[in-house]
Amino acid sequence: MLRKNLPFFKRFFQRKEEVDDPEDEDEVMALPEREEDVKQFFLDQVFDTQLIWASSTLQEVSYFDKGYERDPWLKYFLQRFPDTYLVFYQPSFKLKNATLDAEVIMLTPTEVMCVSILDRDYQDAVFYPSDDRKWTVMKDEQEKSIVNPVIKLKRMEKLVQSIFDYYEVDFPIKKYLLAQQNQIVHQSLPFQTEYIDQTNYPEWFHKQRESKYPIKAQQLKACEKMLEHTLRHYVNVLFGWMMNVELVLRSHDMYVLIINPVAGRGKGIKIVKEYLKGVQNPQNYKSYYTEYPGHATKLVAQVVSLHEEKIEMLVVVGGDGTFYEVINGVKAYGDLPLAFVPVGSGNDFARGCSMPLDPKESLRTIFKQKRFNHTGLVLI
């Protein structure tokens, strides 16, 4: 199946096939002569691949603003720091019902670095912290007031800390104000904050470049939890039920549950209602109940017509029969992520797939730790 779709992926990622053209046989890309220029040439060639790698998986592809291809600061963070530094560049996070933007967050093997860049807007300026709200900027003998840039850093720190607290992740967070082409005149530093200006930038940068720490398990765990709260807009590329590739641009924010109320003598509906009592955003969950054999298939078409652009996942609560009915309904919508909470009397499908048979554990896993195989079925 993968081999069948290889031509599609080659076109999708714009990988050019070799062309037998005699006129091109002697063309050789000229390399720079100086060693430093060769290194930069290589990094620039890799940069395009980094953007593709960062914005796509086998199943999902994001269309990013082409301005990122020319963004010197994005290149700076990707090319000038060790490969063990994981970069969140201008990410958006969703916490509860709020959407929060950040500037730059780097997860190193030893800490989270929240970074704000003064050099975006100023060069050869002198900054004087005035108070908790305002700073003074002197440039070309002109003075102006700006909002204290540390406020933005504190907001980023609070955002990351709230995610870590929720998942009980213990990882230090530090704030950095980057002003390598400017000067910051200060008497003291806020807690867990460093000012990196033209006076100490070379030493600080050399220290980062010389870091020998490998990627750590706690670093990856912290990154995973942060990714779970980032806003993503992407094309879902799945191998559909008819072995073709479906492309659907989606915006996810809702779980739809199709429940067989009589499965397991009513056990499933009781467990779901009890679980949903404790959720933070009940409006993000919609429940539909089957009323007769074959009804689940029709419900799939109904919920897709009502909520297609919002469905994060379709969750089936019932026995094997209910699940098979939903599968029949999903065939026409192969890109829908599908999960199964087995509450029937036999649960042969769940046993055969080595799924846990505890419905409460299944619900917790589905809503907190989503992992998809190539059909879009959640593995729990």
CATH number of 250-368: 3.40.50.10330
pLDDT at 24: 46
- What is the sign of the dihedral through the CA atoms of 205, 211, 214 and 218? negative
**Measured distance CA(271)–CA(187) in Å, rounded:** 59
Instruction: Please compute Rg for the chain using Cα positions.
Output: 26
* Tokens read off for 367: 């809503």
Given this model, what pLDDT does residue 165 score? 94
Task: Kindly give the confidence (pLDDT) of every residue in the chain, 380 residues in length, as a single tens digit, with 9 standing for 90 and above.
Answer: 344 444 444 444 444 444 444 444 445 567 777 887 888 888 888 888 888 777 776 556 666 677 888 889 999 999 899 989 999 998 888 887 778 889 999 999 999 999 999 988 888 999 999 888 999 999 988 999 999 999 999 999 999 999 999 999 999 999 999 999 999 998 889 999 999 999 999 999 999 999 999 999 999 999 999 988 887 654 443 332 222 223 233 334 678 889 998 888 887 788 878 777 765 555 577 888 999 998 998 888 888 877 766 777 788 888 888 888 888 887 766 567 778 888 887 777 777 666 767 777 777 777 664 433 333 333 33
Report the distance separating Cα 156 and Cα 107, nearest Å: 13
206 alpha carbon, distance to own chain's centre: 30
258's CB contacts (< 8 A; 6+ apart) are 288, 290, 296, 299, 300, 303, 314, 315, 316, 317, 318, 322, 326
| Runs of H (alpha helix) within the chain | 6-12, 35-54, 72-79, 150-167, 201-209, 217-227, 267-276, 295-307, 320-330, 348-352, 359-368
CB atoms within 10 A of CB 285: 17
Q: pLDDT tens-digit profile of 181-192?
A: 999 998 889 999
For 230-244, write each residue's pLDDT tens digit: 876 544 433 322 222
**32-54: buried (b, 16+ CB within 10 Å) or exposed (e) per residue?**
eeeeeeeeeeeeeeeeeeebeee
Q: pTM of the prediction?
A: 0.56
CA 375/CA 334 separation, integer angstroms: 8
